């Protein structure tokens, strides 16, 4: 059989083009590539089936640019893209420049076709370089030709030993390295088979050249001299001659899009702005000072009497008048009472945390005391009721006078007065009426003997022997309770302060506008029981000569003891004294307001910076915050702002308006991000055009709905949702779009597997679908099944001799953990929903 009659691959396309093989599927380009800097969605302008001329027509060419035009003006603009062809034209390794270099090696290379063209299309610029060349016989076996050829950028085929091939396939970094041991073994086996086939081709060619008819056919094609050269080659050189023979086509096509943003999106870059810090904790201690109350009563009155008599006598009956005048007067007063000074001291503590939480407390201390005049006056007792600051008051005073004016005697007036303090007769703890009032469990007891008042009136006194009987009594004072009432004016429950209780802080509420503790300590109460045992004290004396002796014989009658009043008495605030002490303990209003503003600033920016999906939103939030804080700070400096800013209606309205503005900024930012990212995020998961068209419709509908919500008001955030792998509070419209997109992708993958995939793939997916609790699980199972089919297809092509059932079992075993994980995570979501 002649060389021309032997089987040979038919030429693919014309000499000036490369037509892809129809025996293998074209490379599958992913619809989306996730990167750390964002997601990239390839346009697939070039990497798709078909010859270049057909691809160019589909892109819509608008004008061609010649090589001469590019060389004269290598920099130009297409759409929004600046194109600079300087380096392309100057690159010595480019296909165009290699073609130029090869065209100069006429004795080594034959140029069959070469092209360099640039074409502007609707979406960008296409630049194509093409060369079709053939190496002349001896181009690689003659050393001088080989050197020139490699200088032009074309390398001759070089033989590899088995050891070299094994090492290359197993060495990371080597272009021939294959990581998978199984695939590496298959590749090595295939390479050895191809090497044996080449050796067989060398042997067959030597045999062919010994056949006259075939040798004559070879001489007619390449010449006698070349045939003789080939006959003289070694087997290795002849193998190299075969490996470097034939035509070589090289096509270099570059696509430059008009607008990169149309098919890719940048990540939602945030500035990472940090809000100002929270204000420091404010802690202030207050001293309540020393305050006095007076419990009990003091009863004092003063009586006066006066008589004037005037008589005019006419000594001459009808004249000679003389006047006689006489005046008499008297006055007396008394004071009776029990009163008990109470001393109030203590402290208050105000703490406001950075968060704004307020803790306020009062720690009061009360006690009774043996008061002096200063204490009584400080309690508000009028000076006329002071009575020497005695706790027990029993005083009597009298004064009288007489005066006359008569004609026969010089005028005259006389007066006398006496004052008696019955407390002078008290001794011990009651002495002088000044004593420390009793406390609960510690009563006071005292005997009273009044020796100046003889009940016998002195009639039993005979000078040398006598007896007197004086009144006597045993007085006992006992207290059951001493208390004051603390009243919180800001709504806290009233608290009774009892003497004897350990001093402990009492929590207080504060004024919402001023942060002040406002409270009264009032209504002193002193429960007291006075018990009197009546008796007498008999004194008997006898004088013997110049010596005298007396005996005092006190006698009490307990059976006649009287409690006054029966059951004791509760002494309230003494009439005429201060019954209420009011306290207003407020921090510095301006300082408190500035701290409250700092809290608002921190909270506002912290909340919205976290929610913002891009830097534009962050900038808008900060600008809004700065303007608002300036307005509020001006009010604070003027003293027009309360400590708690929101208690001012105007400031509260301002804050509410700013929140609405921030929410709108957030809504617009979510719309921006959705518009850019939605389709690239989901389109890469779509198996067909129908799915991608459904995504476009979802995006359009969602953009319209969200825009309408933003214009009408503020889109309510749907918190806690995961959007593009990040937990955000998203508008409900976006949440719905995510759900719809997931359903569209799931349905599309499911339909493809049901219709086009092997039956075993549909069966595996059908095994896991019913176990899913939610759409998210079904979506992940569909993605897993789709990837499983893709692996099966790839392995089947790489191992055509392997039984299909073995490949099926391998990919099923590999993907079952992924499918089971999707079901398990769905069950976890179900349990969480039940717990919530």
296 and 338 Cβ atoms separated by less than 8 Å: yes
Residue 752 — left, alpha, or beta (φ > 0 → left; ψ -120 to 50 → alpha)? alpha
Stretch 26-31: mean pLDDT, rounded? 56
Instruction: Quote the CA–CA distance of 30 and 32 in Å, as a whole number.
Output: 5
The pLDDT, as a whole number, for residue 636 is: 92
Q: Which of the two residues, 469 and 693, has the higher pLDDT score?
A: 693
What six digits make up the tokens of 568? 């004791």
Q: Which of the two residues, 690 and 575, has the higher pLDDT score?
A: 690
473 and 445 Cβ atoms separated by less than 8 Å: no
Inform me whether the pLDDT recorded for 33 exceeds 70: no
Listed in sequence order, the residues at least 6 apart from 350 whose beta carbon sits closer than 8 Å to its beta carbon are 282, 283, 284, 285, 286, 358, 359, 360, 510, 515, 517, 585, 587
DSSP state for residue 370 in the 8-state scheme: -
The pLDDT, as a whole number, for residue 574 is: 66
Using omega within 30 degrees of 0 as the cis cutoff, is the peptide bond preceding 565 cis?
Answer: yes
The pLDDT, as a whole number, for residue 637 is: 93
Long-range contacts of 109-112 (CB under 8 A, 24+ apart): 109/133, 109/134, 109/135, 109/136, 109/139, 109/149, 109/152, 109/154, 110/134, 110/135, 110/136, 112/15, 112/247
Inform me whether the pLDDT recorded for 2 exceeds 90: no
Instruction: Quote the CA–CA distance of 300 and 337 in Å, as a whole number.
Output: 8
**Interval 194-204: pLDDT, tens:** 888 888 888 88
Inform me whether the pLDDT recorded for 315 exceeds 90: no
The pLDDT, as a whole number, for residue 650 is: 93
Inform me whether the pLDDT recorded for 458 exceeds 50: no
Name the range with the highest mean pLDDT among 95-99, 383-387, 653-657.
653-657
Spell out a b/e string for 3-16, using b for 16 or more CB atoms within 10 Å of the CB, else e. eeeeeeeeeeeeeb
**Residue 316 confidence class, pLDDT cut points 50, 70, 90:** low
DSSP state for residue 644 in the 8-state scheme: S
Instruction: Quote the CA–CA distance of 210 and 216 in Å, as a whole number.
Output: 10
By C-alpha distance, which of 445, 433, 437, 438 is closest to 476? Answer: 445
Place of tokens 């109350």: 293
Instruction: Quote the CA–CA distance of 586 and 348 in Å, as a whole number.
Output: 11
The pLDDT, as a whole number, for residue 462 is: 38
Alpha-helical (H) ranges within 295-351 are none
The pLDDT, as a whole number, for residue 81 is: 67
**Residue 626 confidence class, pLDDT cut points 50, 70, 90:** very high
Q: Which of the two residues, 489 and 456, has the higher pLDDT score?
A: 489
The pLDDT, as a whole number, for residue 654 is: 93
What six digits make up the tokens of 23? 């025996």
**Residue 546 confidence class, pLDDT cut points 50, 70, 90:** very low
Stretch 705-716: mean pLDDT, rounded? 76
The pLDDT, as a whole number, for residue 43 is: 59
Q: Which of the two residues, 359 and 754, has the higher pLDDT score?
A: 359
The pLDDT, as a whole number, for residue 622 is: 92
**DSSP strand pairing (465-488 vs 444-449):** antiparallel
Which sign does the torsion angle of CA 633, 639, 642, 647 carry? Answer: negative
The pLDDT, as a whole number, for residue 580 is: 85
Listed in sequence order, the residues at least 6 apart from 422 whose beta carbon sits closer than 8 Å to its beta carbon are 394, 395, 396, 450
Place of tokens 């050891």: 163
Strand partners, 570: 527
**Interval 389-432: pLDDT, tens:** 666 655 545 455 555 555 544 555 545 454 555 566 566 666 65
Q: What phi and psi values does residue 570 have, to the nearest 5 degrees?
A: -105, 115
The chain-wide mean pLDDT, for the chain, equals 75
Q: What phi and psi values does residue 80 have, to the nearest 5 degrees?
A: -100, 5
**Interval 135-144: pLDDT, tens:** 888 888 788 8
Strand partners, 652: none
By C-alpha distance, which of 640, 626, 346 is closest to 504? Answer: 346
**Interval 8-20: pLDDT, tens:** 777 778 888 887 7
By C-alpha distance, which of 47, 78, 73, 74 is closest to 61? Answer: 78
Percent over 70 (pLDDT), the chain: 70
């Amino acid at each position: 059989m002649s060389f021309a009659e032997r089987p040979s691959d038919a030429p693919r396309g014309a000499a000036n083009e490369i037509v892809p093989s129809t025996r293998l599927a074209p490379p599958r380009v992913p619809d989306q590539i996730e990167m750390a800097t964002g997601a990239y969605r390839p346009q697939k302008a070039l990497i798709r089936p078909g010859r270049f001329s057909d691809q160019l027509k589909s892109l819509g060419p608008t004008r061609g640019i010649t090589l001469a035009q590019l060389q004269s003006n290598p920099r130009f603009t297409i759409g929004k893209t600046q194109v600079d062809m300087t380096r392309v034209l100057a690159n010595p390794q480019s296909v165009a420049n290699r073609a130029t270099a090869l065209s100069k090696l006429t004795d080594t290379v034959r140029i069959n076709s070469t092209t360099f063209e640039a074409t502007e299309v609707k979406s960008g610029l296409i630049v194509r370089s093409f060369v079709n060349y053939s190496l002349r016989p001896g181009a690689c076996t003659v050393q001088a030709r080989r050197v020139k050829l490699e200088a032009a950028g074309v390398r001759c085929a070089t033989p590899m030993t088995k050891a070299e091939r094994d090492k290359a396939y197993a060495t990371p970094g080597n272009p021939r390295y294959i990581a998978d041991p199984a695939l590496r073994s298959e590749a090595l086996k295939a390479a050895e088979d191809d090497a044996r086939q080449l050796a067989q081709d060398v042997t067959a060619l030597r045999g062919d050249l010994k056949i006259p008819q075939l040798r004559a056919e070879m001489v007619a094609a390449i010449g006698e001299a070349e045939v003789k050269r080939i006959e003289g080659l070694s087997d290795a050189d002849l193998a190299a001659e075969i490996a470097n023979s034939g035509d070589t086509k090289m096509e270099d096509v570059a696509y430059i899009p008009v607008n990169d943003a149309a098919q890719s999106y940048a990540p939602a870059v945030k500035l990472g702005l940090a809000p100002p810090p929270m204000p420091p904790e404010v802690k202030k201690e207050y001293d309540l000072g020393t305050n006095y109350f007076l419990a009990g009563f003091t009863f004092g009155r003063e009586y006066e009497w006066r008589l004037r008599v005037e008589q005019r006598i006419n000594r001459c009956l009808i004249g000679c008048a003389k006047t006689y005048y006489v005046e008499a007067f008297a006055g007396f007063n008394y004071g009776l009472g029990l009163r008990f000074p109470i001393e109030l001291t203590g402290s208050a503590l105000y703490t406001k945390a950075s968060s704004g939480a307020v803790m306020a407390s009062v720690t009061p201390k009360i006690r009774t005391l043996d008061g002096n005049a200063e204490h009584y006056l400080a309690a508000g007792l009028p000076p006329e009721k002071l009575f020497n600051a005695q706790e027990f008051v029993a005083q009597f005073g009298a004064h009288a006078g007489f005066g006359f004016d008569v004609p026969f005697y010089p005028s005259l007036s006389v007066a006398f007065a006496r004052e008696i303090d019955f407390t002078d007769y008290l001794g011990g703890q009651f002495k002088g009426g000044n004593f420390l009032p009793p406390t609960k469990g510690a009563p006071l007891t005292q005997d009273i003997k009044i020796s100046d008042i003889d009940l016998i009136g002195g009639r039993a006194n005979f000078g040398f022997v006598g007896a007197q009987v004086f009144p006597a009594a045993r007085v006992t004072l006992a207290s059951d309770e001493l208390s004051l009432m603390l009243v919180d004016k800001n709504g806290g429950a009233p608290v009774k302060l009892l003497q004897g209780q350990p001093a402990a802080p009492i929590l207080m509420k504060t004024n919402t506008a001023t942060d002040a503790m406002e409270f009264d300590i009032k209504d002193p109460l002193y429960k007291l029981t006075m018990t009197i045992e009546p008796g007498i004290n008999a004194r008997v004396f006898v004088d013997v000569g110049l010596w005298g002796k007396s005996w005092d014989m006190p006698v009490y009658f307990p059976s006649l003891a009287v409690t006054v009043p029966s059951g004791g008495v509760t002494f309230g605030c003494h009439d005429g004294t201060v019954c209420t002490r009011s306290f207003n303990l407020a921090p510095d209003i301006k300082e408190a307001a500035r701290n409250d503003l700092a809290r608002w600033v921190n909270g506002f920016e912290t909340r919205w910076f976290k929610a913002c999906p891009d830097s534009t939103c962050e900038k808008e939030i900060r600008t809004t915050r700065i303007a608002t804080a300036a307005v509020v700070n001006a009010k604070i400096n003027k003293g027009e702002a309360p400590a708690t800013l929101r208690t001012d209606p105007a400031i509260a309205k301002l804050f509410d308006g700013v929140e609405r503005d921030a929410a709108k900024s957030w809504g617009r930012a979510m719309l921006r991000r959705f518009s850019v990212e939605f389709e690239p995020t989901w389109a890469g998961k779509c198996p067909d055009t129908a799915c991608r068209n459904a995504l476009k419709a979802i995006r359009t509908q969602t953009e319209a709905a969200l825009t309408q919500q933003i214009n009408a008001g503020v889109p309510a955030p749907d918190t806690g949702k995961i959007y593009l792998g990040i937990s955000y509070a998203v508008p409900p419209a976006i949440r719905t779009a995510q759900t719809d997109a997931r359903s569209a992708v799931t349905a599309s993958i499911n339909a493809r597997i049901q219709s086009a995939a092997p039956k075993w793939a549909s069966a595996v997916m059908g095994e896991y679908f019913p176990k899913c609790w939610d759409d998210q699980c079904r979506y992940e199972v569909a993605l897993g099944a789709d990837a499983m089919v893709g692996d099966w297809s790839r392995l089947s092509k790489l191992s055509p001799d392997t039984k299909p059932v073995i490949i099926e079992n391998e990919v099923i075993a590999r993907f079952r953990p992924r499918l089971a994980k999707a079901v398990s995570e769905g069950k976890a979501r179900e349990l969480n929903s039940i717990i919530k």
